[in-house]
Structure 1
Amino acid sequence: MQERIALIGIIVEAPENVELLNQILHNYNEYIIGRMGIPYPKKSLCIISVIVDAPNNIISALTGKIGMIPGLSVKTVYSKN
């Protein structure tokens, strides 16, 4: 299956659920190229970007699991190839 690069953007508005997010990301660590988290105390949230190199079905499964966590929003941008 063809692998693609994707940027997963996550907005965390419920910091109590970050541990669950980290567990999910740990389960997919073989596909993660890098990640960056930026706290934004003014709005009481955190912005996290995760870059992955994985097949489409893996990326979809990962973002689907993240999207089911209460208090988190997730969007994904894919490379063309």
Structure 2
Amino acid sequence: MSEERDTRIAIIGIVVENLSKFYLVNAILHEYSKLFVGRMGIPYKEREISVITLIAEGTNDEISAVTGKLGRVEGVSVKAMLTKVK
């Protein structure tokens, strides 16, 4: 990513409690895939949830857009932590 765009590094945590909505989560992640540097997904079978962590680089608006879309999916919780340094 270009520093000209005023980008930041972010850690995004996603918990998918409604596994029937997993296809929507993946569709959103695919839509914003250019932002992601790394992804780790862990199915937590005992709890019937899935946990995804992402490392992203993007503008505040881009990070907010992806987390906002994910947060509007029923049964999905998402939080982002951004670096202070641009």
> TM-score surpassing 0.5?
yes
The equivalent residue for 1:74 is 78
CA distances 1:13-62 after superposition (whole Å, capped 9, x unpaired): 11111111111111111111011100111111111001110000000010
Structure 1 position 17 matched with structure 2 position 40: no
Q: Taking structure 2 as the reference length, what is the TM-score of the superposition?
A: 0.90
Question: What's the % identity of the aligned pairs?
Answer: 44
Structure with larger Rg: 2
Q: Which segments of 5 or more consecutive residues in structure 2 lack a partner in the other structure?
A: none
Number of equivalent positions:
81
Instruction: Say which structure is richer in strand.
Output: 1
Q: Quick one: which of 43, 46, 61 aligns to 1:42?
A: 46
Structure 1 residue runs of 4 or more that deviate by more than 3 Å after TM superposition: none
Q: Taking structure 1 as the reference length, what is the TM-score of the superposition?
A: 0.95
The equivalent residue for 1:59 is 63
Shift of 1:79: 1.1
Shift of 1:3: 0.1
Alignment-mate amino acid for residue 54 of structure 1: G
The 2-side partners of 1:40 and 1:69 are apart by: 19
